[in-house]
Structure 1
Amino acid sequence: MLPTHVLAGMLLAAPLVRVAPELAPVGLVAGFLGGLVPDLDMYTGHRRTLHYPVYYSVLSVPALVAAAVAPSALTVAVALFLLGAALHSVADMYGGGLELRPWEGNSDRAVYDHYRETWVAPRRGVRYDGAVEDLALSVGLSVPLLVLVDPPLRAVVIGTLAVAVVYTVLRRRLAEMAAAVIPLLPSSLDPYLPERYR
């Protein structure tokens, strides 16, 4: 679930609050964006177009070294963005598959591994995005952030947590609504719909 990913990305910057407080805001924002960006492919090859579990992970290593050796707003931002995107892409392997109703467990596709040129099967540690355990992860990730961050970013954490709660409440209904609405759309829109909606 996107709220879980962005909260996890932000939490990656938590050590900066104590070690380099002047760089913490940029790190928190970069981690948030790193957790967000992979899901911008939601309607264009979801979990394949912007999800790179291997490449983000590999690129984050030299970026983290650069941030440690020469800490600046730029090096910290790049490192935490890449680390947040890597965490998001890898974490998607541990959720449900790519299907309209992932709680049914019919998909064998969790995230695409561009390095091996194959889909990684879902491990379902979290049954699906929007499941109760996904919300529990969001709550768990938000608690230390609420303690560590200042009011402007605290509002972002609270807002993200609110989105997670609403999404969890509505998750199954959203799938049913999509299943009811998609057949009513003109067939000319079919090429623009995610495969899981067809």
Structure 2
Amino acid sequence: MMALTHGFMALAAAVFLLPVVGEYAGPAVLAAAFLGGLAPDADLVARHRKTLHFPVWFSVATLALSGLFLLTGLSALLILTVAVGAAALHSLSDVLGGSAEREPWNPVTENGVYNHVLGRWHRPRRYVRYSGAPEDFVVCLAFAAVAIGSGLTAPAVDRALIALVAFAGVYALCRKRLATIGAVAGSLVPTRLRAVLPAVSVEETETDGTTVDIRFGR
């Protein structure tokens, strides 16, 4: 699933949590949820769905932090709990999507999300076939509608969220053509500038999933 789908999923969950804990942190809870939902996909430039995806440890940490918050009532602890919980939700829900590979619409692996405790990959269920699939955008739009329609975010924030939904829609439309679009865009870059642009390569293995390598100074 798209990182934005995970972000809006966590934000929608936080919308239902906010009336209960809003007195402690308010809008910071919503921000922590959205950013925490996005965070695991930072490993797109490492070992995707392995380096920063921890379905077990994030879940355990969320439970531990929740207990500490109930004991202390510290706002900062609540924000951390929400952020880690959103990362856990992201890591757990990735198993419902497609495989972690360059062209998941033509799957050749069964790498859904890596379980560091068991030391193996969980197989993808493919209810959402791949990041940017039409059904992925529908899920993203549904969760975004919950968040925006809640009335708990400021008008300026709502406009920013709507812009992100629009970006997700464009990404979904272009998803299968990104490699072609990138190649065409690269061919339009003057030769003198190509030497200073980053070179991107993608490596796929059964054990480490997809690794994106970005190098400068070609």
**Percent same amino acid at aligned positions?**
33
Q: Which residue is equivalent to 2:87?
A: 85
How much does 1:169 deviate? 0.7
How much does 1:59 deviate? 0.7
TM-score by length of 2: 0.79
Higher helix residue share = 1
Instruction: Give distance in 2, aligned partners of 1:133 and 1:161.
Output: 14
TM-score by length of 1: 0.86
Superposed, 1:20-59 pairs within 5 Å as 20-22=21-23, 23-59=25-61
SS in structure 1 of the partner of residue 105 of structure 2: helix
Shift in CA distance, 115/154, structure 1 to aligned 2, threshold 3 Å:
same
Contact map agreement 2:40 2:49 (CA 8 A) in 1 = yes
- 1:172 partnered with 2:180: no
Instruction: Give distance in 2, aligned partners of 1:179 and 1:63.
Output: 46
Instruction: Give distance in 1, aligned partners of 2:82 and 2:39.
Output: 12
Instruction: Give distance in 2, aligned partners of 1:72 and 1:63.
Output: 11
What's the C-alpha RMSD, in Å, of the aligned pairs? Answer: 2.5
SS in structure 2 of the partner of residue 194 of structure 1: strand
Contact map agreement 1:53 1:90 (CA 8 A) in 2 = yes
Instruction: Give distance in 2, aligned partners of 1:16 and 1:124.
Output: 29
Instruction: Give distance in 1, aligned partners of 2:6 and 2:103.
Output: 20
Shift in CA distance, 19/54, structure 1 to aligned 2, threshold 3 Å:
same
How much does 1:150 deviate? 2.0
- 1:193 partnered with 2:194: no
After superposition, give the CA deviation of every residue in 1:69-128 in whole Å (9 maximum; x if it has no partner): 433331111111111101111111111112221111222111111111111111101011
SS in structure 2 of the partner of residue 64 of structure 1: helix
Amino acid at match of 2:103: R
Instruction: Give distance in 2, aligned partners of 1:181 and 1:156.
Output: 27
Q: Which residue is equivalent to 1:150?
A: 154
How much does 1:65 deviate? 2.5
Instruction: Give distance in 2, aligned partners of 1:166 and 1:176.
Output: 15
Higher strand residue share = 2
Q: Which residue is equivalent to 1:98?
A: 100
SS in structure 1 of the partner of residue 171 of structure 2: helix
